Structure 1
Amino acid sequence: MYLDENFENRSEDVQEILGTPPHWLLNWGTVLALVAFCLLAWLSFWVEYPDIVKDSIRITFQDPPVRFHAQEGNYIDRVLVRDNQRVETGQALMVFRTSANFNHVMSLADRMKNLPNEEDTTLANFSLDTVFILGELQEDLYNFFQKQSEYQQARMRRFESSDVATLQRQIGTAENAIDLRKANQSRNADLIDQHTTDLLTAEYQYKLGKVSLSEVTALRNKIATLQEEQQGLDAAIRDRQFEIASIRTRINSVQQGSMMSRSETSSEMVDAYLKLKLRLEAFLKKNILVAPFDGTVQIIGRNITSGQFVQEGDELLVVLPKGERQLIGEMQIPFTESGKVRTRQKVVIRVNGYPYTEYGSVIGEVSWKSKVTKKVDNKVVVPIEVRLPQPLVTHTNKSILSEEELSGEARIITAERRFIERIIGSPRVFRR
């Protein structure tokens, strides 16, 4: 019993000793804790943690390349350039197959472009020195020449009844020429049918290995030559028909003793010319690819050769601008976060395909912010442009290849906030 009481008394003494911290620990521990707290507070005041607006970025050249796609399914008539060839503004690159002669169309375009003005006196003297095969433009050209003839007649007013017989003889000569050309057309049509049948047979025999490719090609060339002759004959017939219509108009004018006024015919002639000009521009835009500026052309489509059929939307060519080009970044930031973004703010960019741990980040600067929003994929966004280093170099001094288009993630640093502000809020709250 005595031992138990003695043990309990000693246990209480031991517990009291163990439960009482040393005096030095109380003094120095409190001091150390206070110093640690002050140090953390001091560091949190000086350490800054930025506010950012994060979104994707598209990096491209300020003068982007122009890509050409097929507007509709059609055959390529000819490719006029080589891959990586230098081209000049307005140079023809590719021609699609039409019923028109490419050289004739381009010659007409050059002649119309070189006219000093579009006044009636200038248009009255506009002429072509040969028969042009213009396909769907042929009717517009004939209509212009018809109005031109009417204007010339109204301007001259020198008709006599004795001229009617001469004009009728001219009609007879023109009709004989038409009959001759129609006979040639009929003969050519028979030859085309015959050669087409021979071509089908030759192509079948070529697959069996009985004839050579040169024989098949020769037949194709014969058919192409005959078809071109047919187009020339058709254009010549149309010219003669136009001539006959013009002569008959003159005969009617002499017989009736009345003609349209000079101002009326002038107006109609100018209108016909402008219609021809608009139709020609639309034809060129649809069927002939033209370089929009000086630069280098690259053939990006597959099997882009003469005679190749392309589907609507197929990629064909791309023209790269000449000289040094500036890279820019394009962003579409959400409207809800756009208020914090200002020009000259720092932008940190991680480029896709160039790992951040190996290459680092590209440092840019907000150079432009749109004042107008737009809708993209049902989201309201604000367009932003970012100025980039030229050439493209990361903060670790590693180069990034200037490809035609890059993408990545961009962080716009809108403010540098102290770490303590993020914990306890802005000091303004306490000042209030």
Structure 2
Amino acid sequence: MSEDKIEIRSEEVQEILGAVPRWITRWGITLIFIIFAIILFGSWVFKYPEIITAPVTVTHENPPVTLIAKVNGKLQTLLVTDKKNVKKGEHLIVIENSSSYKDVMLLKHKLDSFQFIYTKLQTPEYLNIPTPEQFIFSDTLILGELQGFYSELKKNYSEYITFIKAAFHEKKIKSVQNQIEKYQQLSEKLSSQQKLVAEDLAIENQQYNRDSSLYSRGVFAKTDFEKSKANLIQKKYSHVGTKVTIDNTLIQIAQLQQVLLEIEQQYEEQNKAFKIALSQSLDNLKTGLKLWEDTYVLSSPIEGKVSFTKFWSQNQNIQANDKVVHIVPGKSSRIIGKIDLPISGSGKVKINQMVNIKIDNFPYIEYGMLTGKVEAISLVATDNSFSVEVSLPDGFKSNYGKNLQFSNEMKGTAEIITEDMRLIERFLNPIRAILKGNS
């Protein structure tokens, strides 16, 4: 009896437990829908910024210039002291070499004067220029590897000056001109003589005609007639001879004029050859001087202040590729960030986008971050990255309001906020990409 009761109760209990009230189902579905709608609405309304991370270097817009040694050697001459203000092109350090720095600088200075002299060689005033001995050339200069260029210039200059001052072509020209003048005078005299001979021939021809008439009438003896004819022939011969002499004289004048042209042409060719040799030797020496300076002399490329990388002293060893000295620009410039932006995702970066910069020297949790804007983007990628320049409107003041201590070439991480994207788009974009990839 008790077993039947227990069984009946068990079925009732199960009936109660198995039947879910409708209001619970209705409200449960409604609640789930509301929650889903809220999530969907929130994912549409709320936006989350997309960030591209890249390494950044914070520096001046005109950063310090580092001078690097190109050769091994000892520090031969230290021309400046640390923290000294220098001008653009000023020499700072000379590395040991076979040339005397003072002699090379003297030669370089004198070359400016030589350039002036070389220019005057092209003018009619060249006879008044200094001779090689009066000019700068000296055998006492210690020029080392530049000696060959210097000797070549000296030789070519000396030969050219000798050629110009000797003026052989002028002497030849004067001699030929004198001959031409004499032949012209002779030609004039022969022309006068030819006129007289022509008159004499005309008279003799008239006499012959008279004698011929008398001879034909039998009045004139044959012997006398033949003599008259011989005289006429002699006069004609004399007239022709005079004309031949004049023609020969004119030919001589023409030949001498041709010789004159050849002398001028020969002079121009020789003069041109000397000029080319002199010009080439001058250019070679200038090129050698430039190479010598670039190799052994560290010069300031900008105006600024010297900052040695370490304490340098005379005869101290310097290795090639050593960073020897920095030149800090004299005029202060604004602080900027330079980002090496990877190619991947670089198309999202636009001008005026916000940038957060975390400086390695200052942990951002404690000091905060610098804020900036994208100011410029390079058009062409170099080494698989674009160069992005970031301006810092607040300077070196962090978003925590702290003024950070700036030093050149500070490294850090830049976070470029490319655009605000809806949360739902972040969920749907991967799905859209998969669907498009499969279609």
1:91 & 1:113 partners in 2: Cα distance? 18
| Deviation at residue 276 of structure 1 after TM alignment | 1.0
Within 1, Cα distance between the matches of 2:117 and 2:376? 43
User: Which ranges of structure 1 fall in alignment gaps of 5 or more residues?
Assistant: 160-257
Percent sequence identity over aligned pairs: 28
Q: Which residue of 2 aligns with 1:38?
A: 37
2:360–2:411: 8 Å Cα contact kept in structure 1? yes
RMSD (Å) for aligned C-alpha atoms: 3.4
- The 8 Å contact of residues 71 and 296 in structure 2, kept in 1 or not, is answered as no
TM-score, structure 2 as length reference = 0.65
| Greater shift in the superposed pair: 20-29 or 5-14 | 20-29
AA of the residue aligned to 1:101: S
Q: Aligned in 2, Cα 1:118/1:364: closer, same or farther, shift over 3 Å?
A: farther
Write out aligned runs for 1:240-279 (5 A).
261-279=270-288
In structure 1, what is the Cα distance between the partners aligned to 2:373 and 2:117? 50
Match of 2:369 in 1: 361
- Written as runs of structure 1 = structure 2, the 5 A alignment for 1:124-139 is 125=130, 127-128=135-136, 131-139=140-148
2:164 matched to 1:155?
Answer: yes
* CA distance 1:149–1:277, shift in 2 (3 Å): same
Check the 8 A contact 2:358/2:364 in 1, yes or no: yes
- Looking at structure 2, the residues matched to 322 and 106 of structure 1 have their Cα atoms a distance apart, in angstroms, of 26
Residue matched to 1:388: 392
Question: Which whole-Å CA distance do the structure 1 matches of 2:65 and 2:338 have between them?
Answer: 18
Code of the aligned partner of 2:152: N
Deviates further, 88-97 or 38-47: 38-47
Aligned pair in 2 of structure 1 residues 38, 365: CA closer, same or farther (>3 Å)? same
| Contact 1:120–1:270 (Cα < 8 Å) also in 2 | no
> Does 2:321 match 1:321?
no
Q: 2:379 aligns with which of 354, 361, 371?
A: 371
SS in structure 1 opposite 2:397? coil
Deviation at 1:151, TM superposition (A): 1.8
Q: Which residue of 2 aligns with 1:215?
A: none
Change (3 A) 1:386 1:148: same
Q: How many residues align?
A: 326
Report the Cα distance in structure 1 between the residues aligned to 2:5 and 2:362, rounded to whole angstroms. Answer: 78
- 1:417 equivalent to 2:421? Answer yes
Query: What does residue 233 of structure 2 align with?
Result: none
Name the aligned partner's letter for residue 148 of structure 1.
Y
Match for residue 141 of structure 1?
150
* In structure 2, C-alpha distance between the alignment counterparts of 1:388 and 1:368, rounded to whole Å: 13
Q: CA deviation at 1:414?
A: 2.6
1:150, distance to aligned residue in structure 2 (A):
1.8
Structure-2 change in CA distance of 1:326 and 1:29 (3 Å): same
In structure 2, the partner of 1:397 is: 401
Matched residue, 1:58: 57
CA contact (8 A) 1:154 1:260 kept: no
Match of 1:150, SS? helix
Q: Unmatched 5+ residue regions in structure 2?
A: 123-128, 169-266, 434-439
Contact 1:72 1:311 in 2 (8 A): yes
Shift of 1:24: 6.3
Matching of residue 337 in structure 1 with residue 345 in structure 2: yes
Deviation of the 1:278 alpha carbon: 0.9
In our comparison, the structure showing a higher alpha carbon Rg is 2
Which SS does the other structure have where 1:261 is aligned?
helix
